Amino acid sequence: MAMELYCFGESGNAYKAALTLTLAGEEWTPRFVDFFNGETRTPEFRALNVMGEVPVMIDGDNVLTQSGVIQDYISSKTGKLGGRSAAERREVLRWMFFDNHKVSGVAGSLRFNMNFLPEAKRSTEVNAFLAGRLGAALKILETQLTGRDWLAGADITIADIACCSYLYYPEDFTFDRAAWPAIDAWLDRIAAQPGWKHPYDMMQRAFPPAPRA
């Protein structure tokens, strides 16, 4: 039976789980969550995940939440994307924790504030602070990726999938790929993996794309 993933296209954290499932070669079915209309705050969803967040993945009797846990589960189950040794596995975890705190944790908030929060509630000062934090994290990624293909080992791992997840989105959140040549080349390498799709092609969007002029 295919795994079921509760997700929506605008969620970079859901994209981590969706892309991990795809690159690991697992069958999965997306289940759209209407986040922007409050579905994650309903009693039904809270019964599924008390944290009120996506992604949620169901595999038989297993209900998993938090993207890093889901990525680790998929990697452990399939034996893929987790590193070649115990030392590489620890390096994978190091970069996943870095992502959660310094990359996705900042990029996700900044992108939400700049694009999805009502304009009257947007704070220039808060966004400037977050942009500075994101820039500092990107400098670290750029340094790590200079002269190497992948973050944590000789092959792509769930660390790469975690750290890249917000960096494919087209909305403005102060990230310009052209300013980061090592990151730019790394994103191209990930996108060249068999089965890769952009998050908006992999999961249903809450907001349809704006019509072209």
Q: Quick one: pLDDT at residue 208?
A: 82
Q: Quick one: pLDDT at residue 211?
A: 54
**Tokens representing 175?**
């990230």
Query: Per residue in 54-82, is it b (16+ CB within 10 Å) or e — as a string?
Result: bbbbbbeeeebbbbbebbbbbbeeeebbb
Three-class DSSP category at 9: coil
CA separation for the pair 213, 198 (Å, rounded): 22
Q: Where in the chain is the domain with CATH 1.20.1050.10?
A: 86-191
31-78 confidence digits (pLDDT tens): 999 999 999 999 999 999 999 999 999 999 999 999 999 999 999 999
Report the Cα 135 to chain-centroid distance in Å.
18
Mean predicted confidence (pLDDT) in 90-95: 98
Q: Quick one: pLDDT at residue 189?
A: 98
CATH class of 86-191: mainly alpha
Q: Tell which CATH architecture fits domain 3-80+198-202.
A: 3-Layer(aba) Sandwich (3.40)
141-184 confidence digits (pLDDT tens): 999 999 999 999 999 999 999 999 999 999 999 999 999 999 99
Mean predicted confidence (pLDDT) in 76-103: 97
Tokens 């500092």 locate to 136
Q: Quick one: pLDDT at residue 134?
A: 98
Q: Quick one: pLDDT at residue 210?
A: 63
Q: Quick one: pLDDT at residue 213?
A: 44
107-149 confidence digits (pLDDT tens): 999 999 999 999 999 999 999 999 999 999 999 999 999 999 9
Asked whether residue 212 carries a pLDDT value surpassing 80, the answer given is no
Q: What percent of the chain has pLDDT over 70?
A: 98
194-208 confidence digits (pLDDT tens): 999 999 999 999 998
Q: Where in the chain is the domain with CATH 3.40.30.10?
A: 3-80+198-202
**Amino acid letter, residue 113:** N
Q: Quick one: pLDDT at residue 138?
A: 98
Q: Quick one: pLDDT at residue 114?
A: 98
Q: Quick one: pLDDT at residue 209?
A: 77
Residue 1: pLDDT band by 50, 70, 90 thresholds? confident
For CA atoms 118, 123, 129, 131, the dihedral sign is positive
